Amino acid sequence: MRRVRHCRRPGCENPAVATLTSVYADSTIVLGPLATEAQPEAYDLCEKHVESFTAPRGWQVIRLATDFQPAPPSEDDLTALADAVREASRTPQPRPRPAEHAGRP
């Protein structure tokens, strides 16, 4: 099942909606839709941090989209969730043990 990716800004737990990549040779930053997989050289950002993002002086920002939305659950996500619920319901529950009383043999 696909996990929700969170914003990479320190202290932010909001869901990521966009991926930031940079091309140092061209002093260019690209803000695009959330990548299908997390990449170590890219930064996933939430909507708040995408909107407030500013580039360093002299750098160009290319925004490939203007409306960033969290990815909806896919059919695979829903199927995996249903399978997990079914599996959990099949797991036998331990039988309660009778309480032991102090002072009884």
Give the model confidence (pLDDT) of 92-102 as tens digits.
666 777 776 66
Q: Which long-range contacts (CB under 8 A, 24 or more apart) does 11-16 make?
A: 12/46, 12/48, 12/49, 14/46, 14/47, 14/48, 14/49, 15/46, 15/70, 16/44, 16/45, 16/46, 16/70
What are the pLDDT digits (tens) for 30-71? 999 888 888 889 999 999 999 999 999 999 999 886 666 665
Domain count, the chain: 1
Which residues constitute the domain of residue 53? 18-90
- 101 within some domain: no
Tell me if 86 is assigned to some domain.
Answer: yes
Q: Where are the alpha helices (DSSP H) in 1-105?
A: 47-51, 75-90
pTM of the predicted model, to two decimals? 0.59
